[in-house]
Chain A
Amino acid sequence: MAVGLEHFLILSAVLFSIGLYGALAKRNAVVILMCIEIMLNAVNIAMVAFSRYGHLLTGQVFAIFIMVVAAAEVVVGLALVIAIYRSRETVDVERIDLMKW
């Protein structure tokens, strides 16, 4: 029952597809951002797994950069959500599909 690279990759894939489903199906913008974070985490798992089973630290370096980008993305994303909420009183993506407000 030894755990190998495939296990981690499949776990990563499962996590990613859950995130993907959420990001596509959900209507609340904050939840969509949360699902995107799940997807980024899934990618991170894959990266670190590659790094572990390939004895190459580049994977972890990439994971660090992904975290940085995720942080930046969340900051800007949430700022947008709040800005939209302020003018439209909603964060429902199906109701904020106008290009202008």
Chain B
Amino acid sequence: METGIAISFWILAAVMVASALAVVWLRDIFRAALFLVLCFFSVAGVFVILGADFLAAAQVLIYVGAIAVLIIFAIMLTRETQRGSPSGRFRFIAFLVGLLFLVTVTLVVVSTDWHAITEIPAEPTTSSLAQALFSGESGFVLPFEIAAVLLLAAIIGAIVLVRER
């Protein structure tokens, strides 16, 4: 079990990082978007390793099925593929910032003593997740409803923005 998870983790991590780098590197936006899909997909794989089965499915559904497709659609609508995705003037600074962030976080992660519980939690998370979301006391009913309103607002906003006057 452990080795299996370890193997999958390293493969997924490699794919994820490589595809994220490809998104940043590639000049062809359409291909970059396809690598983004791959990245999202490997994130879903990581979720499976972490025992978050519901989230994994939701990740595929929302990110791969909806967001990625939306992005591809936007790419086709904006027709910027010929120009590609060049890097800006602050490329070097951006690189430094990214590197700095990475180093800092890594240091923090390594030096912190996480009180991690290694044994595997009870498998299916779907119903317990629903409990956590909707149970009376500690639930997230209000945020959940607000999220729905946010989505509605976003949809209407998008329609208003894109609508021709």
A interface residues (Cβ-Cβ under 8 A, vs B)? 1-11, 13-22, 24-28, 30-31, 33-35, 37-38, 41, 44-45, 48-49, 51-55, 57-58, 60-61, 63-65, 67-76, 78-83, 85, 90-94
Q: For B13, what are the chain A residues with a Cβ–Cβ distance below 8 Å?
A: 7, 11
A-B pairs under 8 A by CB, number:
246
Q: Are B66 and A38 in contact (CB under 8 A)?
A: no
Flag B117-130 by CB within 8 Å of A: 1 or 0 each: 11001000100110
CB < 8 Å: which of B89, B94, B95, B129 contacts A61? Answer: B129
Chain B contacts to A: CB under 8 angstroms: 2-3, 5-6, 9, 13, 16-17, 20-21, 23-24, 29, 32-33, 36, 39-40, 43, 46-47, 49-52, 54-55, 58-59, 62-63, 66-67, 70-71, 73-75, 77-78, 80, 83-91, 93-95, 97-99, 101-102, 105-106, 109-110, 114-118, 121, 125, 128-129, 131-133, 140, 143, 147, 150-151, 153-155, 157-159, 161-162
Q: Name the contact of A51 in the complex, choosing from B20, B52, B106, B133 (C-beta under 8 A).
A: B52
Q: Do B67 and A74 touch across chains, with their CB atoms under 8 A apart?
A: yes
On whether the beta carbons of A68 and B150 are closer than 8 Å, the reply is yes
- The main secondary structure of chain B at its interface with chain A is helix
Q: Knowing A26-B88, A64-B58, A71-B62 touch, does A52 contact B43 (C-beta < 8 A)?
A: no
Q: Which residue of A lies closest to B7 (CB)?
A: A1
* Extra pairs beyond A20-B98, A80-B161 (20, CB < 8 Å): A3-B5, A13-B109, A21-B98, A26-B24, A26-B88, A30-B75, A34-B32, A41-B43, A41-B63, A44-B47, A48-B52, A54-B116, A57-B129, A67-B59, A73-B154, A74-B71, A76-B161, A79-B159, A82-B161, A82-B162
Instruction: Specify which chain B residues have a CB less than 8 angstroms from the CB of A52 in the assembled complex.
Output: 50-52, 121
CB contact between B114 and one of A6, A19, A25 (< 8 Å): that residue: A6
